[in-house]
Protein backbone atom coordinates (compact mmCIF):
# COMPACT_ATOMS: atom_id res chain seq x y z
CA UNK A 1 0.00 0.00 0.00
CA UNK A 2 1.22 3.46 -0.80
CA UNK A 3 0.00 6.60 0.95
CA UNK A 4 0.87 10.18 0.15
CA UNK A 5 1.11 13.16 2.47
CA UNK A 6 0.85 16.65 1.03
CA UNK A 7 0.69 18.90 4.09
CA UNK A 8 2.68 18.74 7.31
CA UNK A 9 5.20 16.18 6.05
CA UNK A 10 5.60 17.92 2.71
CA UNK A 11 5.18 15.77 -0.38
CA UNK A 12 6.09 12.42 1.13
CA UNK A 13 5.14 8.93 0.00
CA UNK A 14 4.77 6.25 2.66
CA UNK A 15 4.96 2.55 1.78
CA UNK A 16 3.45 0.01 4.13
CA UNK A 17 1.04 -2.83 4.75
CA UNK A 18 -2.20 -3.41 6.60
CA UNK A 19 -1.04 -5.32 9.66
CA UNK A 20 -4.31 -5.89 11.54
CA UNK A 21 -8.05 -5.33 11.41
CA UNK A 22 -10.19 -5.25 14.59
CA UNK A 23 -13.79 -4.39 15.40
CA UNK A 24 -14.26 -2.23 18.49
CA UNK A 25 -17.81 -1.19 19.15
CA UNK A 26 -19.16 0.57 16.06
CA UNK A 27 -15.71 1.00 14.48
CA UNK A 28 -13.43 -1.15 12.35
CA UNK A 29 -9.86 -0.32 13.37
CA UNK A 30 -7.28 -0.81 10.62
CA UNK A 31 -3.64 -0.91 11.74
CA UNK A 32 -1.06 0.13 9.16
CA UNK A 33 2.69 -0.43 9.44
CA UNK A 34 4.81 1.79 7.22
CA UNK A 35 8.19 0.53 6.05
CA UNK A 36 9.51 3.37 3.89
CA UNK A 37 10.82 5.99 4.63
CA UNK A 38 10.41 5.08 8.31
CA UNK A 39 8.64 2.46 10.39
CA UNK A 40 5.50 4.01 11.82
CA UNK A 41 2.35 2.44 13.20
CA UNK A 42 -0.80 4.19 11.95
CA UNK A 43 -4.41 3.49 12.83
CA UNK A 44 -7.56 4.33 10.89
CA UNK A 45 -11.06 4.00 12.35
CA UNK A 46 -13.73 3.19 9.77
CA UNK A 47 -17.43 3.60 10.50
CA UNK A 48 -20.26 1.62 8.94
CA UNK A 49 -20.89 4.52 6.54
CA UNK A 50 -17.20 4.54 5.53
CA UNK A 51 -17.29 0.81 4.73
CA UNK A 52 -20.49 1.18 2.69
CA UNK A 53 -18.94 4.08 0.78
CA UNK A 54 -15.82 1.99 0.09
CA UNK A 55 -17.97 -0.85 -1.30
CA UNK A 56 -19.93 1.59 -3.48
CA UNK A 57 -16.68 2.94 -4.93
CA UNK A 58 -15.21 -0.54 -5.52
CA UNK A 59 -18.31 -1.81 -7.30
CA UNK A 60 -18.67 1.12 -9.72
CA UNK A 61 -18.77 -0.22 -13.28
CA UNK A 62 -15.46 1.42 -14.18
CA UNK A 63 -13.70 0.04 -11.06
CA UNK A 64 -15.22 -3.45 -10.94
CA UNK A 65 -13.05 -5.14 -13.63
CA UNK A 66 -9.85 -3.90 -11.99
CA UNK A 67 -11.06 -4.98 -8.56
CA UNK A 68 -12.02 -8.46 -9.78
CA UNK A 69 -9.21 -9.16 -12.27
CA UNK A 70 -6.23 -7.24 -10.91
CA UNK A 71 -4.75 -3.82 -11.40
CA UNK A 72 -1.44 -4.08 -13.26
CA UNK A 73 -0.95 -7.45 -14.87
CA UNK A 74 1.67 -6.22 -17.33
CA UNK A 75 4.53 -3.81 -17.05
CA UNK A 76 6.72 -2.73 -14.18
CA UNK A 77 4.86 -3.18 -10.90
CA UNK A 78 7.20 -0.77 -9.11
CA UNK A 79 6.26 2.06 -11.43
CA UNK A 80 3.25 3.81 -9.83
CA UNK A 81 1.42 6.52 -11.80
CA UNK A 82 0.99 9.94 -10.21
CA UNK A 83 -1.97 9.91 -7.82
Q: Which residue spans within the chain are E strands per DSSP?
A: 2-5, 12-24, 27-36, 41-46
Total number of domains constituting the chain? 1
The pLDDT score that the predictor gives to residue 29 is 92
pTM over 0.75: no
The mean per-residue pLDDT over the stretch 70-74 comes to 62
Residue 46 placed within a domain: yes
Residue 37 placed within a domain: yes
Q: Which residues contact 23 (CB under 8 A, 6 or more apart)?
A: 29
CA distance 22 to 28: 6
Residue 78 placed within a domain: no
Task: Give me the domain span that covers residue 42.
Answer: 2-68
Residue 74 placed within a domain: no
Residue 80 placed within a domain: no
The pLDDT score that the predictor gives to residue 75 is 54
Residue 32 placed within a domain: yes
Q: Which residue has the higher pLDDT, 62 or 10?
A: 62
Amino acid sequence: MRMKSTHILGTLELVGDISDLNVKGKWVIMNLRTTTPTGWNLKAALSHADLLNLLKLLFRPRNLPRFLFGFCRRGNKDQIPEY
